[in-house]
Structure formats: structure tokens, C-alpha cells
Amino acid sequence: MKTIMDWPGLMRLGLHELRLSPAAFWALTPAELLVMLGAQASQAPLGRSRLEELAEAFPDTKERTGS
């Protein structure tokens, strides 16, 4: 699913309301910006059982590529 971002609106809020510099604004991730603007998290924090499921599904290995 594609998420459409209202960049002009977010820029207005970031630069005007939050008084961020352009460099600071563009250094943020969209999630960080939304948190700064007071947006509520859409998902519950990662719990131990879900972490264990992910660790089992994607185990760490000694084989690394691209390093």
C-alpha cells in the first residue's frame, strides 16, 4: 500500500510550527517528524514474544554480504 505524504504541509509544520532549520527538517525520518508533531503511534510497542518470533524467522548468521 502506497502512503501519500503531504510534503508541503509537513514542511510548513516543521519549518514554521516546530521552527526546524531546513537541514534539521530533511534529516528527520517521516516517523520522527510525526512524533514531533504529536502523532500517536499506530502500533503497539514490540513485545518480547514478537521479538522472539522475528529472531527465529530471521536468525543472525556469521555470513554477511556487502561488508
Q: How far is CA 15 from CA 9, 33, 40, in A?
A: 10, 11, 21
Inform me whether the pLDDT recorded for 37 exceeds 80.
Answer: yes
Q: What is the mean pLDDT of residues 30-40?
A: 82
More confident residue, 39 or 54: 54
The residues near 30 (Cβ < 8 Å, ≥ 6 apart) are: 5, 10
Task: Delimit the domains of the chain by residue range.
Answer: 10-36
pLDDT of amino acid 24: 96
- pTM over cut 0.75: no
pLDDT in tens, 17-28: 999 999 999 999
Whole-number average pLDDT of the chain: 83
